[in-house]
């Protein structure tokens, strides 16, 4: 959860709670902000999220009630080709269909491909749900990912900002086109080449342990439709799915601010997505 309400209905976002925590201010009593829920929640500073207090539960219709939502998404999205049931409420999600569609590419004609549109919508719903959970467990217990004959672990498919380096490594190590989902916070929109706009997410800064070396992992989405990318505003959390590409890494050096004998080297690793279908991006909030 990225926000909650105080007992008087004031909205509190994670960023504000973090600031208060850092300034050692008292945190307000927090409740779930989903209409009609009001479950008792708390800010967990170590992990930077809002979670249920011990023993509290979301109401059945609450937007944060992940198990109930998952059942609804699976019931609505069941399709023998894409999301066949495995029994006992479990399902298999076949990524090969999507991989092939993404390789063929989009264009407006295929935007009207109804089964594919349904698959992408179901996947986006599952990914949003996964983003709202604190780990893979709930989804992994109910939905088995499969790419052709191979089972794919959720941890090799879904990456949060803290694991952008793992996503980058996996792309580099793979010879096949692996569909992957990354979640990020929009940092900027930039038109860097004619006809293309990039949506850039807050990067991951990797502590390498090497003195004066900094590694960054940048995640960007490129598309010709600037208005569409702008519809994901700065600060919003987005989930981005598809066939990612490693961009060219760049290295920059600058003098150490206080020690002239030292040079700080920053290496930026890039991950880019060129969506064929607009459903490959979804707003989490």
**Which of positions 183-242 make contact with Zn ion (CB under 5 A)?**
none
Nearer residue to Zn ion within complex by CB, 53 or 174: 53
Q: Binding to Zn ion by residue 32, rule CB under 5 A?
A: yes
Contact by Cβ (8 Å): 249, 267: yes
The SS3 call for residue 120 is: helix
**Which of positions 33-52 make contact with Zn ion (CB under 5 A)?**
34, 37, 39
126: tokens are: 């599952």
Q: Binding to Zn ion by residue 132, rule CB under 5 A?
A: no
Candidates 176, 170, 183, 152; CA nearest to 100 is: 176
Q: Considering CB under 5 A, how many residues would be counted as binding Zn ion?
A: 7
Q: Binding to Zn ion by residue 58, rule CB under 5 A?
A: yes
Contact by Cβ (8 Å): 268, 205: no
Question: DSSP class of residue 53?
Answer: P
Q: How far is the CB of 64 from Zn ion (least distance, A)?
A: 5
Nearer residue to Zn ion within complex by CB, 27 or 52: 52
Nearer residue to Zn ion within complex by CB, 36 or 209: 36
Contact by Cβ (8 Å): 244, 209: no
CA angle 122-158-184, nearest 5°? 95
Q: Binding to Zn ion by residue 64, rule CB under 5 A?
A: yes
Q: Binding to Zn ion by residue 1, rule CB under 5 A?
A: no
169: tokens are: 């490594």
Binder among 62, 116, 138, 182 for Zn ion (CB under 5 A): 62
Interface with Zn ion (CB under 5 A): 32, 34, 37, 39, 58, 62, 64
């Amino acid at each position: 959860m990225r926000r909650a309400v105080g007992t008087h209905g004031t909205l509190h976002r994670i960023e504000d709670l973090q600031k208060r925590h850092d300034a050692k201010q008292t945190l307000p009593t927090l409740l779930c902000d989903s209409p009609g829920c009001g479950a008792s929640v708390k800010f967990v500073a170590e992990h930077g999220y809002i979670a249920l207090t011990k023993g509290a539960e979301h109401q059945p219709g609450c937007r944060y009630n992940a198990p109930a939502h998952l059942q609804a998404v699976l019931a609505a999205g069941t399709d023998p080709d894409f999301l066949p049931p495995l029994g006992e409420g479990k399902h298999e999600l076949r990524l090969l269909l999507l991989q092939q569609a993404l390789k063929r590419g989009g264009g407006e004609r295929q935007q009207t491909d109804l089964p594919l549109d349904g698959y992408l919508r179901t996947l986006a719903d599952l990914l949003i749900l996964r983003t709202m959970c604190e780990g893979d467990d709930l989804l992994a217990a109910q939905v088995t990912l499969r790419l052709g004959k191979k089972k794919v672990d959720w941890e090799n498919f879904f990456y949060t900002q803290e694991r952008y380096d793992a996503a980058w490594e996996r792309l580099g190590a793979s010879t096949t086109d692996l569909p992957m989902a990354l979640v990020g916070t929009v940092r900027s929109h930039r038109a860097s080449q004619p006809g293309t706009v990039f949506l850039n997410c807050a990067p991951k800064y990797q502590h390498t342990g090497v003195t004066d070396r900094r590694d960054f992992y940048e995640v960007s989405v490129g598309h010709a439709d600037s208005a569409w990318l702008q519809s994901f505003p700065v600060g919003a959390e987005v989930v981005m799915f598809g066939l990612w590409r490693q961009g060219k890494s760049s290295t920059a050096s600058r003098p150490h601010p206080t020690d002239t004998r030292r040079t700080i080297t920053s290496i930026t690793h890039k991950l880019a997505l060129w969506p064929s279908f607009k459903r490959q991006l979804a707003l989490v909030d």
